[in-house]
């Protein structure tokens, strides 16, 4: 069932901080077939680094997917996360170690949330292919000034 194109969900996530660390925000765009999609979310998350914000966007997206589809259905989904953070993608795919102590608990939270899902993959995309999520972050941060 996971290979069914109807079960494919593409999620674009982004996070960013002013002054790194500084005021930070996340953006998430969920795309799949259906009348109710795409769905877009953004949120101010307080003070964080760029990398922390990237992880928090991913955590937000995993939780949102669970609430949108339900715990049973997410087992049958093929979810592709598209991120413009090469660091996160490499860490999540096990190719880079997580050396920053502040990222380790965020990585573990993603890993623990991911257990409830079926097929999940993390793919690096250039920033220009992640424009919608990036704009959501910038919109949140521009509201601060």
> In the prediction, which pLDDT does 36 show?
81
pLDDT for the residue numbered 3: 54
pLDDT of 30: 97
Can you give the pLDDT at residue 6? 64
Q: What is the pLDDT of residue 143?
A: 85
- CATH architecture label of 5-142: 2-Layer Sandwich (3.30)
Which residue ranges of the chain lie beneath pLDDT 70? Answer: 1-6, 145
Closest CA to 27 of 101, 130, 144: 130
Q: Quick one: pLDDT at residue 1?
A: 41
Q: Which residues pair with 44 in a beta bridge?
A: 25
């Amino acid at each position: 069932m996971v290979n069914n194109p109807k079960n494919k969900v593409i999620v674009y996530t982004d996070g960013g901080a002013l002054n790194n660390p500084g005021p930070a925000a996340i953006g998430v765009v969920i795309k799949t077939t259906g009348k109710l999609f795409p769905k877009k979310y953004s949120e101010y998350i307080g003070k964080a680094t760029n990398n922390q914000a990237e992880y928090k966007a991913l955590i937000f997206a995993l939780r949102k997917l669970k609430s949108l589809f339900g715990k049973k259905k997410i087992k049958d989904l093929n979810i592709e996360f598209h991120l413009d953070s090469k660091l996160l993608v490499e860490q999540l795919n096990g190719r880079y170690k997580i050396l920053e102590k502040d990222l380790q608990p965020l990585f573990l939270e993603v890993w623990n949330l991911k257990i409830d899902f079926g097929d999940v993959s993390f793919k690096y995309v250039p920033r220009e292919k992640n424009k919608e999520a990036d704009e959501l972050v910038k919109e949140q941060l521009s509201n601060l000034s």
